[in-house]
């Protein structure tokens, strides 16, 4: 896993992506309507499956790091996350 504050996107393994998509859909079902709207203003929030490039590396980009403090322990090769904007 690569934690990259210079990359906006996050690329997850298929199992993690599927779990996140399922949880998001479940949580949003209480807020989203399935009716068609006639409003001119259309809002869109999309999750998309990232094409599999057979890479062993995955990325946690800067957008998903914004509300976390990130601790880098390079001596031990560890990384930690704690809620709270920097």
Q: Cα–Cα distance between 21 and 79 in angstroms, integer?
A: 25
- Cβ atoms of 65 and 5 closer than 8 Å: yes
- The per-residue DSSP string of 29-79 comes to TTT---S----S--------PPPP---S--EE-GGGGTTEEEEEETTTTEE
What tens digit of pLDDT does each residue of 22-74 get?
Answer: 888 888 888 766 666 565 555 555 556 556 666 666 777 777 778 888 888 88
pTM attached to this predicted model: 0.49
Q: Where exactly are the structural domains of the chain?
A: 2-83
- Cβ atoms of 50 and 11 closer than 8 Å: yes
Q: Cα–Cα distance between 14 and 52 in angstroms, integer?
A: 9
């Amino acid at each position: 896993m690569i934690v990259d504050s210079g990359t906006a996107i996050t690329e997850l393994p298929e199992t993690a992506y599927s779990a996140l998509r399922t949880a998001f859909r479940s949580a949003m079902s209480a807020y989203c309507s399935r009716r068609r709207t006639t409003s001119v203003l259309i809002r869109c929030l999309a999750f998309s499956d990232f094409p599999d490039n057979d890479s062993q590396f995955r990325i946690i980009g800067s957008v998903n790091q914004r509300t976390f403090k990130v601790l880098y322990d390079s001596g031990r090769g560890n990384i930690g996350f704690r809620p709270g904007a920097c």
